[in-house]
């Protein structure tokens, strides 16, 4: 049986998406044995996929290039769906919800109107905290709040034992100024049983402005508890004195069945 044993590296390149994966094969007839092959598979901007298998890697009987590439393509589809290959329990379309932003004040909230025949039929905010649990990540499609400190309380899609968190910002290459000084820097994540619960700190982290746009952080405190709510506390940004922008926050973990 062929399967992905683990993904070694996933990164965005100038030519598209590159996936470096380990593939194993187990055979019941010859006992359990695992050998690994490494595949580089890139997906360019128009959706075309091309791949190559590194030479010099040990292959076993029946493990050919086309089989390996198909396995990697399956992994790539999973990765492409949300860029991490991990379930996001905060995702709005999966049941996540913004409960509160505490005392945090949104920065320059504007109202936009959808007009038909000169009549307004829909109004929506162009700076909504719900943005951080939605999949869009275009420049400006973020929740901006005043200053460098802010809070946001998120109802998860179910009871979850968190194992990791992901914070995403636009890359410098997509920023109109070439800088991302409004990106969060130091932040904490807390697990809550209710909105006003004192909570348990799950970790304290730093988002690097020189790192990948999507950065993941492992839960620092070993817990055996499931939480319906998490709170994200932003303690600083990368130098913007006026506002901080949150593009996307993900919560990964084990959901209670």
Residues 78, 174 within the same domain = no
**pLDDT tens column, 226-253:** 999 999 999 999 999 999 999 999 999 9
Name the strand (E) or helix (H) holding 193. Answer: none
**pLDDT tens column, 93-128:** 999 999 999 999 999 755 545 456 666 654 545 689
The mean pLDDT of the chain is 77
| Token pair in block for residue 181 | 């000084």
Residues 112, 193 within the same domain = yes
Residues 108, 16 within the same domain = no
CB atoms < 10 A from the CB of 24, how many? 19
Which of 2-11, 126-135, 164-173: highest mean pLDDT? Answer: 164-173
**pLDDT tens column, 62-81:** 556 676 666 666 665 666 56
In a domain, 61, yes or no: yes
Domain that holds residue 196: 92-255
| Nearest in space to 229 (alpha carbons), one of 190, 186, 178 | 190
Distance CA 214, CA 249 (A): 10
Residues 52, 178 within the same domain = no
Pick from 97-106, 139-148, 157-166, 244-253: least confident: 139-148
Residues 168, 191 within the same domain = yes
């Amino acid at each position: 049986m062929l399967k992905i044993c683990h993904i070694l590296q996933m990164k965005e390149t100038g030519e598209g998406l590159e996936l470096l994966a380990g593939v194993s094969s187990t055979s019941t007839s010859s006992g359990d044995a695992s050998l690994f092959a490494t595949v580089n598979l890139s997906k360019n901007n128009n959706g075309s996929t091309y791949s190559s298998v590194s030479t010099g890697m040990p292959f076993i009987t029946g493990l050919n290039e086309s089989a390996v590439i198909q396995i990697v393509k399956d992994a790539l589809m999973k990765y492409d769906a949300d860029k991490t290959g991990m379930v996001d329990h905060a995702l709005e379309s999966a049941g996540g919800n913004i409960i509160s932003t505490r005392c945090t004040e949104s920065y320059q909230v504007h109202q936009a109107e959808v007009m038909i025949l000169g009549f307004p039929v829909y109004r929506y905010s162009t700076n909504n905290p719900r943005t951080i649990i939605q999949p869009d990540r275009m420049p400006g499609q973020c929740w901006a709040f005043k200053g460098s400190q802010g809070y946001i309380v998120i109802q998860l899609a179910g009871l979850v034992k968190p194992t990791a968190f992901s914070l995403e910002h636009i890359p410098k290459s997509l920023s109109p100024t070439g800088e991302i000084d409004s990106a969060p820097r130091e932040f904490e994540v807390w697990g809550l049983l209710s909105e006003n619960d004192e909570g348990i700190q799950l970790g304290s982290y730093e988002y690097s402005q020189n790192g990948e746009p999507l950065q993941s952080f492992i839960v620092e405190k070993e817990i055996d508890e499931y939480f319906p709510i998490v709170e994200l506390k932003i303690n600083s940004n990368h130098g913007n004195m006026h506002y901080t922008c949150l593009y996307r926050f993900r919560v990964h973990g084990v959901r209670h069945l």
